[in-house]
Structure 1
């Protein structure tokens, strides 16, 4: 059978239409705007107010605004937060669109200019942006030669230290991050500032600045030790991250044991307190309940032991000892003091005597 001339073209058209229908409409994901910061003035006198506005930040993010010296937008804050006027910093929270506006005082930083307005997130994913600000009357000096240096981690970081008895009872777990870095740049690195972050589970790390005192010359290496600790009672899987000059250098996992001493303390507390309350309650009830005289007398009589009484009877066939006749008793059936009682089957008249005719 001879195929039709337009059959191949029709099949190709149908296959293309089917592919388009299966693929569906394609939309390009809109790019998220990059964070930006603008200042109401680029130059201000010491203590003057500067309005800082920002856009493109994460909605609901908490930001910290600082005026820092010895810094540039390209290199960032070289000396860390030690170069900033921390006492005059401001905190602001972005709105639902990621924007903010805050008045910041142009306080003189502890380091000379060049100066910047440092804006950084406090929690969650880290975002940092520096904007140049010139402060009139503040000294200005050239930047140190640390920008030419380049640090790299040469060995695998390790965590030194162990828990103690206090940690077992909820004290903050503490460790020392030990690693070796080398200067791969052409200039020395003096007093580098590292960022140390700790993250629990899937949460973002909380970053803290750790400055190491010393100078690393080009081509040299140095062992760095950074101490840190977690919050009291922390336990679970943690991850320690190391960052320098906005570059992640290394990460190290850390499994923190549960403080079983705290659990044991609460278990003992739940057992001892109810037992003590029960004992105190029983003592109070025993003191307050009414006393029954009969029951107390019976209990007292049961506790007294009566002495044993021995009754001696005269033997049959033996004459009683000579002596004065016994005094008349108080009545029938009652024995005088010191004599044996009469047997119940004999009456006083029928008792045998010595002159009885039947007595041998």
Structure 2
């Protein structure tokens, strides 16, 4: 019974599904040009089909087959167009020279919604033609997490040393080949000035389709302060930017304040010491005056004959004061103290003192 059933199945005709019943893939969007070559200032008609309905598109003429992205396109002369209900459009595009040499293309891309693009080769008459740049080997890195700056300042930074940080960023290799020892460019900018780029090579390998945490050193000039912007570039494209607020080095300000206060005070003290040393002492003049006063000669003594003639006794000589430190009154009146107060004829002893021996009258012989 089983053999009979198997033979009947083999004899039955096989049935196939019709071609219309098979699932059909959606047609890829495409564009067509009214001319393959035109000069600058002309007009080119672009026709498109297979786009999503009611979708906004941009049309550009680009050089180098748009390898460098929209930077190689004549963006100022581009046009925008909206597709119809059936996904088609028709638009006139002015011919312009792109910033990069040919080979050139007309590039159409969606602005909103799911991304979709289409290119058509085109030649701009009179525009330079150059070979396409060779694509460098290595992976394509993209940023997967916001960057951050790690680290802090120290005492030397407070006194004007160069501020230093570590730029930490997580990147992913979206290419098909590993990126070995990638070379990044780290730039720092202050205010409206352009960034100063420096190469930083990271030692390691980022496999294709994997992510990696990367740390790169960042350093600013000595004495830097204010708001800075740290940027990271790889393959000519800026991957990330991170602001950095740097505090003022107050130690330098304190140093200059102390310098402006201490130096004038030191100069003033030195000048006063010099003036005090070279100016004459007031005690030296007084010493000279005292020395000259002691050299004044004494008044002459009265002779014995003069005393007998007047019948008075000669006054005893005045005792000189003992040598020693003199007070202020003695210092000022040294000269007057050593001079005699009275002359021999007007001494008080000669006029008021009573005689000790009464005079005797002698007759003439």
TM-score higher than 0.5: no
Q: Which has the higher helix share?
A: 2
What is the TM-score when the length of structure 1 is the normalising length? 0.44
> With structure 2 as the length reference, what TM-score do the two structures score?
0.43
Q: Work out which of the two has the higher radius of gyration on C-alpha atoms and give 1 or 2.
A: 2
